[in-house]
Structure 1
Amino acid sequence: MLNLVLNHATNHIQTRCGAFKRNIVNLNKILFLPILFLLFNCNQKQEKTENGINSESELKTQSESRNYKNEVSEFALNFSPKGASALDSIPENIIKDFRELRAIDEIAHEKYVTLIFTKLYAEHLQCCHQSYIIKHFPADKSEYDFDKLTMVNEFAFMSNYLDAEKLPEIWTSGIIEKWLTENPELLEFEPIGKYNQFIKTVSEKIKNGDYWDN
């Protein structure tokens, strides 16, 4: 009889323990699922935030690139030099835009710097029948500021004509002829091609001595 009671008690305890263990397992599942759900949502939100930041950064960079290029192109296309000192009339903020454009779009930088200097030389030939000095260089190279915001430095960067070890005495506006001869593909840009043709026409007239009558 005693054994029967003990066996019954043992079975009852084992049944209760088994049920308790199952309840613990079920409780763990219940607690684990919400935590997993929260972690999943957090990861999604973080990815959306990071993607949003990256998208905004890319849009900002693209916008800045377009602004520099647009401002430079608009200025170069509308640039109408007058007289020998026309290069000095270019605002500093425009030269800064040219400087920024170097790193953003070197081809555009090359095209619009070329257009500026082609227009300048054409104006010098038209108004004064000759090229003009656009820069006097110091005899001591240490006295020249290669980083100064000037269109001459933009041309120097583009052309690589300025030897830091041996500076020339002067540059004239006619230096653009050398550049265009060495880079004829730039003439495919219609405004450059047009002003280059004007330069050739006027130069021929000056050479023949008949320009002065016009």
Structure 2
Amino acid sequence: MHQLTEKQKKIALIVGAVLLAIHFAPGFINNLRHAAPAPAVVQKQSAAHVAPAPPPPPPSPEIVAAAKYGGIWAGSELMPDQNRCSIRIEIRLSDDTKRLKGYESKTCIPTQPFAGGKGIHGQSVADVMRETAPVSAVMTGAPVEGGIRFTVDSLIGTPYDGYSLIGMTITDFGQGQVQAQWQSQRSPQAPCPDNRMLLKKARG
């Protein structure tokens, strides 16, 4: 048998290696494919769930009352003591919007000196001016059912009859009107019977 030369042996080895590679290559590649880690699945992060904003708190009773009764109310009537009295009250929220404020002015004209055509005979100008001078009050209110109850913080002026305002309540009375009911006294031992007057909205 013809002996292979070294060169032929090398060629035969190379050809054999190539044939082996061709034979085993598909399985080797398939094994590599299975052994390789699967690519990480990128998951979309859903947008964070945003809770709806809570509803605003309901308005305070003071704000509700100011929306209903805020403005200027005025009225004039002949009182039981036969004096013609006029009342004007401005209602609004305090600057911090936490309290109801009332600014009341009352003016009375005594009619008794005019009864029977007597005029003001015997009264000095100072007496007439004093009796007809307005008396004002700064008040703080609290909402009540159907109205506002005021307490007096301070008084400006001197009442002609000596009875000082100590409290006032306004309550609904028909369309566009309120009833003002107030309490006054000369002293804790000398209260005056409650007086009432209908007030109409003069300005909102």
Could you say whether these structures have the same fold, taking a TM-score greater than 0.5 normalized by the shorter chain as the test? Answer: no
Greater share of helix: 1
Q: TM-score, normalised by structure 2?
A: 0.30
| Structure with larger RCO (C-alpha < 8 A, sep 6+) | 1
Greater share of strand: 2
Q: TM-score, normalised by structure 1?
A: 0.29
